Amino acid sequence: MTILSNGHLWNYSEFIENKNYSFNKNKILNSLSKDEIDEAYLSISKWEGYSPTPLIELNKLSKELNLNKIYYKDENKRFNLKSFKALGGAYAVEKVSKGKKDIVVATATAGNHGRSVAWGAKRLGLKCKIFISEYVSDARGQAMAALGADVIKVNGNYEKSLIECIKQSTNNNWQIVQDVAWKDYMLVPKYTMAGYSVMMKEIVDQIKNNQITHIILQAGVGGMAGAMVAGIARYLDNIPITIVVEPDSAACVLESIKKGRIEKIDIKRESLMGGMSCGEVSLVPWEILKNSVQYCMSLPDDDIANTMRMLGNAGFSDEKIIAGENSAPGVISLIASCEDEKIKNKIQLNKKSNILLIGCEGDTDQEMYQKLVNQK
């Protein structure tokens, strides 16, 4: 392979098949309904500055891998927030506020969800409290503060920041706008997922008559993956092969699908894929993903920087693509699957395949982006 670093093997850590796979559109749409999905699109498509993000063909990579087409949904162009998360948190803020101006919204975040909530609050003139862990970069914290949010840094990881967010919100009667669900907190995460599903509506309009055969979805708590699977059930006639990809240090969806129940991961090290470094799949997406995802793959950090650099240098397409560290896993897992003949045959990758990848963010942390793409 000439594009792929003269025979460099693109690494994956684990690959599994879901033994409980059974794609049931009606069951999926019981978890996130057609009406909820449609309402989100009708609302968000009317926001000032809204336009569908580009769907780019990675034509150089598809030729190299002997695949028909590879589509890359470029969320770097989503409003001014450079992430698909702009669709979810801001829409949830709109739904929970119900036109009121006197509420305070709060959330815990690794970065992009918090920016969306802060932006959504600013749009509606609301106060906003954002809780971040000590591992969230100063640049990401400053970006949320620039949108008018009060940013509170918490010692420990994301889970610790979420606990503190819940504690202070309960004490102060703030409205939590979280993208993760737990018992008795299911509705707001459904709003965020409904917002994310706007991507699938745009994709269907953009690909026209070309049928998607495979879709690779990144997962942290599983919200985006669950929303896109619900979007498949809502908008597509065919059922593509669906693969979830995660960091090997936080593969909570993979481990849960392997066990057939939600499995909490004790994260021993933080991944470069920080927005995907989550120890437990959220309840709402789990109900969708547990039977609707065919395969799961986990990745080390090894190829993140190189993939970002190649996307940015037009190595995979005719366009230069600014892709953050959480956008790289879809590309990496596809290349790794093509390099492993057993996996390639198992998931039926061939010259007729049309693969959809989600470029879920751009350079949301410009300092981190430059550091990684300039890495030798």
Query: At residue 376, does pLDDT exceed 70?
Result: no
Asked if pLDDT for residue 210 goes beyond 90, the answer is: no
Same domain, 109 and 141: yes
Q: Where are the alpha helices (DSSP H) in the chain?
A: 25-31, 34-44, 59-65, 85-97, 112-124, 138-145, 158-172, 187-196, 198-207, 223-235, 252-259, 283-292, 304-312, 328-339, 341-346, 366-373
Domain that holds residue 156: 85-186
Residues 257 and 354 in one domain: yes
User: Can you give the pLDDT at residue 368?
Assistant: 87
| pLDDT band of 364, cuts 50, 70, 90 | confident
Domain count of the chain? 2
Alpha-carbon distance 5 to 336, whole Å? 13
Checking if the pLDDT of 139 tops 80, the result is yes
Q: Which of 151, 170, 186 is the C-terminal boundary of a domain? A: 186
Could you tell me if 172 and 200 lie in one domain? no
**Residue 1, domain member (yes or no):** no
Statement to judge: residues 41 and 102 lie in one domain: no
Do 210 and 170 belong together in one domain? no
Of the candidates 134, 160, 186, which is a domain's last residue? Answer: 186
Per residue in 212-253, pLDDT (tens digit) is 999 999 999 999 999 999 999 999 999 999 999 999 999 999
pLDDT confidence band for 1 (50 / 70 / 90): very low
Instruction: Mention every residue, 6+ apart, whose C-beta is less than 8 A from residue 311.
Output: 317, 320, 321, 322, 323, 327, 328, 331, 359
Same structural domain, 63 and 142: no
Residues 364 and 324 in one domain: yes
**Which pLDDT tens digit goes with each residue over 172-204?**
999 999 988 888 899 999 999 999 999 999 999
Query: Is residue 8 scored above 80 in pLDDT?
Result: no
CATH label of the domain that carries residue 313: 3.40.50.1100
Largest distance between two CA atoms of the chain: 59
Q: Is position 252 within any domain? A: yes
Q: Is 8 inside any structural domain?
A: no
Query: What pLDDT is attached to residue 7?
Result: 61
Q: The whole model's pTM is what?
A: 0.94
**Do both 92 and 238 map to the same domain?**
no
261 and 215 within one domain: yes
Residues 163 and 219 in one domain: no
From 186, 207, 242, give the residue that closes a domain: 186
Check residue 208 and give its pLDDT.
82
- The pLDDT tens digits for 308-331 are 999 999 999 999 999 999 999 999
- Could you give the strand order of the β-sheet that contains 127-133, starting from the edge strand earlier in sequence? 150-154, 127-133, 104-109, 175-176
Tens of pLDDT, residues 86-137? 999 999 999 999 888 899 999 998 878 999 999 999 999 999 999 999 988 8
Do 196 and 181 lie in one domain? The reply is: no
Instruction: Decide if pLDDT at 2 tops 70.
Output: no
Same domain, 24 and 113: no
Average pLDDT, the chain: 93
Question: Is residue 350 very low, low, confident or very high in pLDDT (cuts 50, 70, 90)?
Answer: very high
Whether 112 is in a domain gets the answer: yes
Residue 9 lies in a domain: no
